[in-house]
Structure 1
């Protein structure tokens, strides 16, 4: 299509839930503005749904609704397919069919991209069509485009982020009110921040998928969700949060993607999701409620932070529409945007080799030599202690140890040795520490 051609660009939407309904609303309400931004009218030609009679947040003309998603994406006249149904199937088959039938695709499907992104990228390249997915990570926050385009001439070394609003809300409530995990989760569910089944959020699956996408873009390597070390927040206790507060820190579920030297000296990708203590002076510590933030470090640009609502129908739809405008402009110009960049092909570093720091709280017998014995356990695994403090006396004696940076396997082995020592009654808390001295 040549620029200036007034044939309407035809858009099909797959899914009309919280996000899809807002996409439909924006396409309708901003029709004139979108036409001006794109350079041609944008026409919604179909919305695929599971049930025609299901209640929806917006009114969709009955003539646009269909339960035959395959037929919709197979129409040869559709220019852009927006996929917001989520999950692996039928989303994967529908996206591949759309590309095969000549449509470009905008998707918010983090789970599919993290599991089988290469298949989608290869199909888009073969079809010479766009595959855009800004909405897959951090809702309305523009983070993927800066990584893919704005920082394309720089070397990104680290991406550290709060990328799940549900867990951030829960941990924030535990910090500000002293609530336990179950109590904070219940409040999140009452307010609509957490699903009835919160497993994907609280066990870190959602954040791990996003971490895989961020690492792939930042480090030009293929990283899948299975490559990301994952721990959730269901085991975080009020005592952990209180201990962090005593250290001048706060507990956050972090997605951490970084370049780390491998055994041969070549850079490897380390990708992990887990709760961690960070100093209250760190920019991510001030991210409250269900908000998201991503902190990027690069060699030339230095430190950058992206902040905003990380979920919700309207914010996510905003990111979808941003991609749609770009893809539509490319269709008008007969061009394509940047595809997958995996030229670096870096190996993924095992979690055991990744250097981290631990905060360990240990209930011990209050007798001479205890501190020395605990210190020796750390030394046995070549782990250096940064700080140690003792709380209480007698039966309530507790040591709180914060280590210097060491391989995670060495720190884990240290904790296991502590658990087997006669002088240790219980290792009550183990949590990683991020964001200050190594």
Structure 2
């Protein structure tokens, strides 16, 4: 029997180190060639590392969230034959990861899921990121953060509202801590006619948990922090009357052909951007502040901010100017799904010239979105609501939406930002302009 040392390989593209985001094995496991061993994340992508040999795991090195240089020994294997340990000694500086039976410190990830999962699972890497179904060691468990909106399906929310149950007190056992119907039933059972159980639902809470921010969540945090530090934002909010646009959307959906997708408001927003941006080339652009170079673009490559279990991603619809309203709807669905299921490539997540971020029905009254640098502008549609509006001498009910936006003030002056949003608003309030040459 020999000893085989598995080292972090050179992933390419100038990557010198990577972050460990998920172990699929523990000491004692028997692994086969091409079996998943560990997930690592670079600035470019999440990569699934597979075994080059058959063998038995004797030791693993490095902890979840740790940064390791290329060439570092990650895994030691006992293999048939001579192995490669004599020719390549273990690089010092990394302690072996704790075995499965060890008790982890609060907030750390173990090499395999705990026997009794806590309420909120936190993925250690994007869902579906190049790993086989059922692989172990991919999930950490955490409680819901203070003030965080609980995840639940609309039907579950409606039932909880009818019963007068605040969902923030209900523990979720579904994906990413989602509250399932069974979770709600369990809460109701605890708070039923039994007075002792009912009192237990309102006992004072103690303690908490330290959650280490790793993987995609850490990359998002680093980028947001860098953008807010380097880019002076100017925010602008305008009110839009979308009554005519919503009537058009409903009519098109009611009369669409079988092959045509159902339209949301987002495809109309993108078509309106295509009509307005040629008059504002400095807004459909990317700013390289280190080189002092603004790169304007005739093509409109629109980023669609998409919430996934791994965090916020921005897949890109390329050449929106060449697509009709139905094709845009297809592309929105396609790129959003690719981001959510983890199949989006690096090329599909880069190269945008402007971003649209929408919270849909949760859009609120006003948002102040952070620019997706190196872009110089981001548009954030808010919630569509019906409310009374004065028109001449009459009060009528109209469908209104606030349009939030942020601009890089180094490139876009307040006057130009306001003029751009006003022209964008004109397109939306009179949707015939969207389709006119």
Do both proteins adopt the same fold according to a TM-score greater than 0.5, normalized to the shorter chain? no
When the two structures are superposed, what TM-score results if normalisation uses the length of structure 2? 0.28
TM-score, normalization: structure 1? 0.28
With a CA cutoff of 8 Å and minimum separation of 6, indicate the structure with the bigger relative contact order: 1
Name which one, 1 or 2, has greater alpha-carbon Rg.
2
Structure richer in helix, relative to its length: 1
